[in-house]
Structure 1
Amino acid sequence: MKPALTLHDRTLQLARFPLRKNETLQAWDAADEYLINHTHEMALDPQRPILIFNDSFGALSCWFADKAPVTNVSDSFVAQQGCLQNLADNQLPSIDMRSALDDLPANPQLVLLKIPKNYRLLSWQLQQLCHLVPEDCIIIGAAKVKEIHTSTLKLCEKYLGETKTSLAVKKARLVFIKPNKALAQPMPQPVQWDVPEHGFTITNHANVFSGESLDIGGRFLLDHIPQDPSLKHIIDLGCGNGVISLKAAQLNPQAKVTSVDESHMAAASCRANAELNLDTPEQIHAIVNNCLDNMEADSADLVLCNPPFHQQNTITDHIAWQMFCDAKHVLRPNGQLIVIGNRQLGYDDKMKRLFGNVTKIAQNNKFIIYRSSK
């Protein structure tokens, strides 16, 4: 793993977040380097904001932090924690951190957009920018060549303005967008759909997993959530839009439910769905966090978990392992962890190593649900 980014006689020490022993992945990519190289000789106004969207672990935010007021705009709590840590490690000025749902500072001079794979999020951010940026604002997107498609460029043209691309360098490409205020339109509302078999109406912000229907794994898990009057505190870890939290709350009205996700849009969707579907929405408390960091030990009776198997664009199993370790920490003695995963992911091995026991609750042709007790 290469910990130092060195360009133009300047070196930044950068790490991914959370820190792991024997890390094999670096905290920036070729698209970050391309953006830095392209803007290196650009004359910047030290008073006007620079907006940086979807900065994976803060490489871009760190590079520009001492050049002008920087606003880091991200839906990822984990990415922003990584950015804050890297700013501190390099003794750089503080910057403005905002979620993907927050209002943005006016009159930016430069927008750097790491293009997300999720087109719903990209469309949202392009429309947000179309309302905000002045005509003299320079807007540059960037991604790996394989992630910039004709459909990507068409979205940029549709929602923000005339779009051109650069040549590829180190398998990365830049996208140059000239803002056109005439394209501005009302911001899209969250998508809604019904889950009639459970009596729910679900609303989803742009960057929430399975944005237009209930995902098949979540649908399977809904039928296997315990109903037990002894449960006082339930955690939905990786809650997404909160549908699992809703069912847990519905089945266990005596319990408080803490819904945790690293996505600001997921937590906001979960809160909206509690208001929409529960007579007592305050039963659900939705928060953003890196798994269960800083949560009280021995404080929960049940953790429900549908782990992701990627971080940013990287496939990995370390998040699932962290989720299981954190669950063991917060569970009371005899508390239970219930996990759903694709059959090939082998979560039962991890759970047995950690808890000493694992039981298969249910399975179908794609998913298995496991339970371990502390």
Structure 2
Amino acid sequence: MTTEAFLGTHPLTLHRFPLDQKNRSLQAWDAADEYLIEYTFANYETPKHALIFNDSFGGLAAALIAQHPTIKVTTVSDSFVSHQACQYNLAENTLSKTHLTLQNSLAPLPLDCDLILMKVPKNAGFLQHQLAQLSHLPANIPVILAGKVKEIHSSTLKSVAHFLSAPTTSLAVKKSRLIFTHTTCKPVDDKFPTDWPLEKTDFTISNHANVFSRDSLDIGARFFANYLPQGKKPIKVIDLGCGNGVIGLLTLAKMPNAKLIFVDESAMAVASAKQNIQHNLPEQIDNCEFHQNDCLTNFTPGSVDLVLCNPPFHQAQAITDHIAWQMFIQAKHTLKQGGELRIIGNRHLDYQDKLHRLFGNCKIIGNNKKFTVLSATKRG
């Protein structure tokens, strides 16, 4: 795997997270990062406080701190893993974290920044949320957005113009492009979180901007809902990769004595799940925990009875199964003897073979043309 990055004038060693993923050919930075840093260094010699959005693995923060050791950097991300990677990569390059602030995507933005750098997120609604946040900052702060040419559309520029000043764009370099704008101190309301009624229930589901399937119940969750546990046993259940928490919510409605633990690496997902329990089953909130985490890292071994999961098969723009594998392995570690991992996945992903190799058993408990629901039991 290539770890030597050339972001600006200082060579950096950058690692993609999680560190133990199988596909080590994936880099922790891209051409848009390079373009953004080169332009920034050429045009902004002495920024005092840089505000960075969506720095996937800390490469932008590392480059800025390497170039300007005393610069104050606030990096905003919805991802727990991204913040972990940023701290690791700064340490790997012996760069100081003294003036670094890591904050999630729901925290208020600092008012004293004098430069804003943003990687354009894949999620258009999430971009609008972040631009709405920027619209509340003081006027005339330079904002530079970077992304792949194929990801920057006329709708992207329209969103920027709605919340900030009229944007201009750079020439394309290595299939990447920059967008230039600045804050105007003309606050625009954020339309998130959004709400919609959950079909066949009295529940209302609330969703922050970066939550998967935030506008309606996704077809995988709809199918999985037919195969959730029910009963009066006081078991401990994890909704792993919980998103807006709809699977855990439906489970809790069917198992009122259960303890539900909602886990996701997205701050917005965890906040949405908590809000949905508070609004729909407020009497059950004391039976719930909510954790932003890298899958089940550092969870107590042998501590839960059931893990429910709809694993992702991508990380940002990369198609990969390493997150699913991590979820399966850590679920087995966290389950009690006799505990169960129950998942839903696209049929073509062949999770049945993976689970059988890991657990020594796996059975199909439901399927249709697109999805398979699988169950694996932890045995002695």
Give your verdict on TM over 0.5.
yes
Q: CA deviation at 1:178?
A: 2.9
Q: After the TM superposition, which residues 116-155 of structure 1 pair with which residues of structure 2 at under 5 Å, given as runs?
A: 116-135=121-140, 137-155=141-159
Aligned equivalent of 1:104:
109
Aligned equivalent of 1:5:
5
Pick aligned residue for 1:156 from 129, 151, 160: 160
Name stretches of at least 5 consecutive residues in structure 1 with no aligned partner: none
The change in CA–CA distance for 1:32 and 1:67 in structure 2 (over 3 A counts) is farther
Superposed CA offset, 1:51-91 (max 9, x none): 00000100001111225100010011111111111011111
Aligned equivalent of 2:31:
30
Give me the CA root mean square deviation.
Answer: 1.4
Q: After the TM superposition, which residues 182-197 of structure 1 pair with which residues of structure 2 at under 5 Å, given as runs?
A: 182=186, 184-197=187-200
- Are 1:108 and 1:133, in contact at CA under 8 Å, matched by a contact in 2? no
Q: Distance in 1 between matches of 2:14 and 2:246?
A: 36
Aligned equivalent of 1:232:
235
- Are 1:49 and 1:105, in contact at CA under 8 Å, matched by a contact in 2? no
When normalised by structure 2's length, the TM-score is 0.95
Pick aligned residue for 1:169 from 164, 170, 173: 173
Q: Percent identity?
A: 49
Q: CA deviation at 1:7?
A: 4.5
Which residue identity lines up with residue 163 of structure 1 in the other structure? P
- Are 1:245 and 1:284, in contact at CA under 8 Å, matched by a contact in 2? no
The change in CA–CA distance for 1:166 and 1:121 in structure 2 (over 3 A counts) is same
Q: Distance in 2 between matches of 1:43 and 1:260?
A: 40
Aligned equivalent of 1:346:
350
When normalised by structure 1's length, the TM-score is 0.96
SS at match of 1:131: coil
Q: Distance in 1 between matches of 2:45 and 2:264?
A: 36
Q: CA deviation at 1:156?
A: 0.6
- Are 1:307 and 1:319, in contact at CA under 8 Å, matched by a contact in 2? yes
Establish whether residue 205 from structure 1 lines up as the match of residue 208 from structure 2: yes
Aligned equivalent of 2:364:
360
Pick aligned residue for 1:335 from 332, 339, 345: 339
Q: CA deviation at 1:285?
A: 1.1
Pick aligned residue for 2:329 from 315, 325, 328: 325
Q: CA deviation at 1:188?
A: 2.4
Q: CA deviation at 1:219?
A: 1.1
User: How many pairs does the alignment contain?
Assistant: 371
Q: Distance in 1 between matches of 2:43 and 2:347?
A: 51
Q: CA deviation at 1:362?
A: 0.6
Name stretches of at least 5 consecutive residues in structure 2 with no aligned partner: none
SS at match of 2:243: coil
- Are 2:139 and 2:182, in contact at CA under 8 Å, matched by a contact in 1? no
SS at match of 2:129: helix
Does 58-67 or 322-331 show the bigger shift?
58-67
SS at match of 1:162: coil
